[in-house]
Structure formats: C-alpha cells, structure tokens
C-alpha cells in the first residue's frame, strides 16, 4: 500500500514539473517576443544606390532577311549618333575602341549636337541643320541621296559634319552588317517631346524620330541588324546654374527614365535590339567616374560603352550578322 502511495506521489511530482517547465518556456517566449529582435535598420542612414536591372532586349535578325546575301567574312559596323561618337574621333574615340574590341570595320556617321527627334514636324528650308538629326540621316541613307546632308554640312565650320556626310556617302551598304544608333541625352535637355499619342510618326518627337529612322533603314536594307544604344545618365542646369538630376527632374516631357522606356518600346516594336546604358552602364551612382561634365563622356566613359556593345556583338557574333 505504501509503495502505491509513493508511486502516486512520484507521478504527481513529474506532472507538476512538466507543467512548470511548459509555463516557464511560455513565459520566456512571451518576454522575448515583447523585447523583439535587433534590427539592422538605421533611420538616419540614407541609401545612396539601388538595384535595377538593365532594360536590355537583344533581338536576333531573322534568317529570312539574310537569304541570298553573301557573307564576306568581315563584320562591318556603321555608327550613327551624336557626341559620344564625335567628341573624340581618335584612338580613344568610340568607333576606334569598338573596332579594337570586336575586330570589325567600324564607320563613324555621327554629327555633333544632333538628336533623335527633328526640330520641326515637317522639313523647314530655313533650318537645314535638321538634316543632321536621325530621321533625316536615315532617310538619306535609305534613299542613297546625300546631297541635302552635304549641303547642310558645307555651312558648318566644324569639319566633322562634312567628314560624316562624306563617310555615309562613300559606304557600300551591301557590306554593312550592323548599324549602331547612339545618342546622349540631348533630346531630354532640348525638351523634345517624348511622343505624340495621336501621331506615332511625328518627326519632331523622340519616339517619332526614332521610329521613322528605324523603319527607313529596315525598308532599304532589311539584312542590316540594328542596335540602339540608349542614352546614359545626364544632368540638366537650372536658371540659377545649379545641376539637377536627369533621373528625377522633368523638364516638361518627362525625366530620363521616361525617355528610356519610350525608346525601349519603339525599338522592340520595330524588332531591333536595344542596350540600356542608363541603368546598365553609366548611371546616377557612377557617372562621376565616366563623364567629363553634366552630359559628355570621358575616355573611360566611351570605353565603358564600347565594352558593353562589344560584349553583345562578340558573344553572339554569328547571330549578330
């Protein structure tokens, strides 16, 4: 009888101990929950950068467009654009660097301070400089008529205009494999409208100028693959001489990211490749390393753009032609 009583007491003690342990664990967890865990968040710290994927879209040229065309074994590239091509035309220039990095023959068809959108929605005889803007350059190439372009270049003191016009006239376009279109943020700074919702082909808009140019080249030379190299980061200067970020400041037609998205949309809709330099090459975090001022590139900046394009061309060399 005594043994049964002791056994009963032992079970009671065990049960009470278990209840005590469970209660203790619950209390400890409640206390820890109330205290919380230490956070790494510092409300006084301002993040200087952010991660955004580049908006690259690489579209191979349809094999059907190359039917009947003989490959001469040499990759030949024509570059169209503005100051990234013309600020330096020597060994540190973009076209020279691209040639060295790809082994290709590279022609420079850039016009200083030109843009993607035309000045006027229809050609104005009183403004011959519109001939240097992309839609008119593309029209000259498509028609193989460079008379208006050379006439406008003859009025310019900078010999780079005539050099580019003569280069474009002298090229055998049957041998061109790739056309590269690369402009800086001049359209944004010149307040060129990004688009006209009622007329996607309006020449005096950013997207209208680009769409007209792409389609003119594609119609005349369907076998040429086109790469659009987007603008890089840039700054604007306000009326007080202060620098403003192109990434956030809207000069009337959207900030630079808005222009980028519009450019990507047009390139894709026309079936051509686009390489995003705004997020993918020279951006708001690193521009001091690659730009000589608020819009122009340094030698290092041109090398970075050439590296970016060369990597795409070299990686898909057979499909790039």
Buried-exposed string 221-231: b where 16+ CB fall within 10 A, e elsewhere = bebbbbbbbbb
Is the pLDDT reported for residue 47 higher than 50?
A: no
- 44 found inside a domain: no
Beta bridge pairs of residue 81: 110, 182
**CB atoms near residue 179 (< 10 Å):** 25
The residue behind tokens 């693959």 is 225
- 207 found inside a domain: yes
Pick the closest to residue 56 from 270, 318, 291, 267 (CA basis): 267
**Tens of pLDDT, residues 246-289:** 999 999 999 999 999 999 999 999 999 999 999 999 999 999 99
When pLDDT is averaged across residues 16-29 and rounded to a whole number, the result is 56
Is the pLDDT reported for residue 120 higher than 70?
A: yes
**Tens of pLDDT, residues 285-310:** 999 999 999 999 999 999 999 999 99
Question: What is the model's pTM?
Answer: 0.83
Give the per-residue pLDDT at 72: 87
Q: How far is CA 230 from CA 73, 119, 186, 194, 321, in A?
A: 29, 20, 12, 14, 21
CA-to-CA distance for 321 and 77, rounded, in angstroms? 10
Q: Hey, what are 88's tokens?
A: 């330096």
Give the per-residue pLDDT at 71: 84
15-19, 178-182, 240-244, 287-291: lowest mean pLDDT where? 15-19
Instruction: Report the SS3 class of residue 56.
Output: coil
3-state DSSP helix/strand/coil percent for the chain, to nearest 5?
A: 45, 10, 40
Q: Hey, what are 90's tokens?
A: 């020597």
Beta bridge pairs of residue 225: 178
Question: What's the whole-number average pLDDT of the chain?
Answer: 88
When pLDDT is averaged across residues 217-244 and rounded to a whole number, the result is 97
Q: Hey, what are 233's tokens?
A: 């980061």
**Tens of pLDDT, residues 190-223:** 999 999 999 999 999 999 999 999 999 999 999 9
- 305 found inside a domain: yes
Do 281 and 304 meet the contact criterion of CB atoms below 8 Å apart?
yes
- 283 found inside a domain: yes
- 192 found inside a domain: yes
CA-to-CA distance for 243 and 295, rounded, in angstroms? 11
Provide the domain count of the chain: 1
Pick the closest to residue 294 from 187, 193, 184 (CA basis): 184
Give the structural domain span for 248: 74-235+244-315
- 173 found inside a domain: yes
Do 304 and 233 meet the contact criterion of CB atoms below 8 Å apart?
no
When pLDDT is averaged across residues 153-157 and rounded to a whole number, the result is 97
Model confidence at 30, pLDDT cuts 50, 70, 90, reads very low
- 139 found inside a domain: yes
CATH of the domain at 97: 3.40.50.1110
Give the per-residue pLDDT at 315: 87
- 14 found inside a domain: no
């Amino acid at each position: 009888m005594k043994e049964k009583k002791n056994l009963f007491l032992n079970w009671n003690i065990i049960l009470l101990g278990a209840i005590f342990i469970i209660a203790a664990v619950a209390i400890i967890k409640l206390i820890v929950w109330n205290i919380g865990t230490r956070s790494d968040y510092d409300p006084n710290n301002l993040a200087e950068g952010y991660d955004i994927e580049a908006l690259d879209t690489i579209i191979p040229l349809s094999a059907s467009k190359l039917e009947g065309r003989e490959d001469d074994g040499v990759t030949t590239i024509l570059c169209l654009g503005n100051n990234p091509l013309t600020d330096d035309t020597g060994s540190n220039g973009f076209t020279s660097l691209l040639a060295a990095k790809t082994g290709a023959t590279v022609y420079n068809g850039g016009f200083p301070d030109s843009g993607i959108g035309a000045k006027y929605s229809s050609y104005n005889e009183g403004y011959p400089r519109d001939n240097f803007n992309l839609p008119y350059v593309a029209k000259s190439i498509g028609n193989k008529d460079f008379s208006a372009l050379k006439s406008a270049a003859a009025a310019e003191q900078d010999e780079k205009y005539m050099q580019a016009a003569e280069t474009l006239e002298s090229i055998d376009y049957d041998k061109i494999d790739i056309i590269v279109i690369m402009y800086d943020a001049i359209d944004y700074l010149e307040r060129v409208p990004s688009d006209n919702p009622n007329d996607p082909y309006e020449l005096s808009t950013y997207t209208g100028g680009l769409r007209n140019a792409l389609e003119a080249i594609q119609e005349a030379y369907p076998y040429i693959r086109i790469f659009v190299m987007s603008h890089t980061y840039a700054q604007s200067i306000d009326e007080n001489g202060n620098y403003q970020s192109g990434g956030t400041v809207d000069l009337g037609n959207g900030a630079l990211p808005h222009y980028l998205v519009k450019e990507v949309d047009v390139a894709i809709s026309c079936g051509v490749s686009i390489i995003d330099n705004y997020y993918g090459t020279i951006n708001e975090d690193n521009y001091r390393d690659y730009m000589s001022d608020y819009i122009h590139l340094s030698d290092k900046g041109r090398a970075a753009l050439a590296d970016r394009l060369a990597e795409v061309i070299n990686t898909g060399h057979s499909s790039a032609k």
